[in-house]
């Protein structure tokens, strides 16, 4: 049995425990990750809910890897830290996150590039804002496995909802991940992504296509358009039941284009209208 467990650990540098919190937003539930071994002890990423059976499973997975010594949080959404306080109370180990502004219960802040020894490998924190300003991905450097939190999703789509979400930052974060030699991506929701390169390219292309659709739709409203007027045009391919969610992503696209000087806002918060910026005499910013 012990021998078997050792073998398993050599094949699989992490244990995945699925949290019992399935929903429209979380898919099958949050993937909680336990990694490490006897030499360094274990750490857990994203203990999602306070539920006895689930937390017992997480603790058992940690014990098989030398015992949990740290709790890491990818970002401050409840389905990623919901079990952290209970786990900390049980084990007496610290909670680490990018910032206390993002995760109020964090004991320690993890800056971009921070490295933690896990078994014979090293886990590197990578600040990847976009879905949320405090988002961290974690790269297992030796094996090229990326624990991606909510930056990518194995199922469904990643919500970019301003003000905590930022479309420009999101695209920059995805491009940053493209620079890494990745073997696989373990998202917080849904199955493992085995083709990181094409998946990242697909994510970037998808957002840029939407952006182009936003620009095309704005072209039909020379006097400006509200978000409510733009949603059915830009998201004609998406079920109307999801249009409230789509409005958030659309706003994120508009804010990015505004930052780039390509669209302009008119009117007050009651009747906010968006219009393409006239580009005569200017060179349109490239997007290399």
Judged by CB under 5 A, how many residues of this single chain contact Zn ion? 2
Rounded to 5 degrees, φ, ψ at 126 are -125, 115
Q: Which is nearer to Zn ion, 59 or 252 (CB)?
A: 252
- Residue 150 or 166 with smaller CB distance to Zn ion: 150
Q: What backbone phi and psi angles, to 5 degrees, belong to 107?
A: -90, -30
Looking at the Cβ atoms of 78 and 142, the one nearer to Zn ion is: 78
Residue 75 or 262 having the CB closest to Zn ion: 75
Helices 243-259, 227-234: crossing angle, 10 deg rounding: 110
| Shortest distance in whole angstroms from residue 208 CB to Zn ion | 22
CB-CB contact of 130 with 148 (8 Å): no
CA distance 72 to 107: 10
Of the pair 65, 77, the CB lying nearest Zn ion is at 77
| φ, ψ dihedrals at 29, nearest 5° | 130, 175
DSSP 76: S
The stretch among 70-78, 92-100, 108-116, 262-270 that binds Zn ion (CB under 5 A) is 70-78
In angstroms, give the least distance from the CB of 158 to Zn ion. Answer: 8
Cα(12)–Cα(129) distance, rounded to whole angstroms? 28
Residue 184 DSSP symbol: E
Among 65, 69, 70, 77, binds Zn ion (CB under 5 A): 77
Nearer to Zn ion, 37 or 150 (CB): 150
Query: Smallest Cα–Cα separation from 49: which of 96, 84, 98, 17?
Result: 84
Q: Give the shortest CB-37-to-Zn ion separation in angstroms.
A: 29
150 binds Zn ion (CB under 5 A): yes
Closest distance of CB 129 from Zn ion, Å: 12
Beta pairing class for 68-72 and 41-45: parallel
Chain Cα centroid distance, residue 66? 28
Q: Which residue stretch of 42-50, 91-99, 143-151, 254-262 sits at the interface with Zn ion (rule: CB under 5 A)?
A: 143-151
Strands laid side by side in the 95-97 sheet: 14-18, 31-37, 41-45, 68-72, 95-97, 108-109
Start-to-end CA distance of the chain, whole Å, equals 53
**Least distance (Å) from Zn ion to the CB of residue 219?**
33
In the complex, least distance from residue 171 CB atom to Zn ion, rounded to whole angstroms? 17
CA distance 29 to 146: 19
With binding defined as CB under 5 A, does residue 166 bind Zn ion? no
207 is an interface residue for Zn ion by CB under 5 A: no
H helical segments located in 22-151: 52-63, 78-81, 84-91
Choose the stretch contacting Zn ion; rule: CB under 5 A; options: 3-11, 102-110, 147-155, 212-220.
Answer: 147-155
**Binding string to Zn ion for residues 11 to 30, with x set by CB under 5 A, is what?**
--------------------
**Minimum Å distance from CB 280 to Zn ion?**
41
The least distance separating Zn ion from the CB of residue 13, rounded to whole angstroms, comes to 24
Q: Rule CB under 5 A: which residues touch Zn ion?
A: 77, 150
């Amino acid at each position: 049995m012990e021998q078997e467990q050792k073998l398993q650990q050599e094949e699989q540098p992490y244990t995945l425990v699925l949290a019992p919190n399935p929903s429209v937003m979380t898919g099958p539930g949050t993937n909680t990750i336990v990694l490490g071994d006897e030499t360094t002890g274990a750490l857990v990423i994203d203990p999602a809910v306070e539920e006895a059976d689930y937390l017992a499973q997480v603790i058992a997975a940690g014990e098989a890897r030398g015992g949990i010594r740290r709790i890491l949080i990818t970002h401050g959404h409840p389905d990623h830290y919901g079990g952290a306080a209970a786990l900390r109370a049980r084990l007496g180990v610290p909670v680490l996150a990018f910032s206390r502004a993002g995760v109020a219960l964090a004991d320690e802040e993890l800056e971009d590039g921070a490295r933690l020894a896990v078994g014979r490998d090293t886990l590197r924190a990578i600040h990847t804002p976009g879905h949320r300003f405090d988002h961290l991905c974690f790269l297992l450097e030796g094996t090229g496995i990326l624990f991606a939190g909510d930056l990518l999703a194995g199922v469904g789509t990643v919500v970019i909802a301003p003000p905590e979400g930022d479309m420009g930052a999101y695209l920059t974060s995805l491009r940053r991940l493209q620079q890494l030699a990745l073997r696989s991506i373990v998202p917080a929701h849904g199955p493992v992504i085995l083709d990181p390169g094409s998946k990242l390219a697909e994510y970037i292309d998808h957002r840029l296509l939407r952006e182009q659709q936003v620009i095309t739709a704005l072209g039909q409203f020379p006097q400006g358009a509200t978000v409510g007027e733009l949603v059915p045009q830009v998201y004609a391919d998406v079920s109307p039941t999801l249009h409230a969610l789509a409005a958030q992503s659309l706003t994120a696209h508009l804010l990015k284009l505004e930052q780039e000087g390509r669209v302009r806002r008119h009117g007050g918060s009651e009747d906010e209208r968006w219009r393409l910026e006239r580009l005569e005499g200017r060179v349109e910013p490239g997007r290399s």
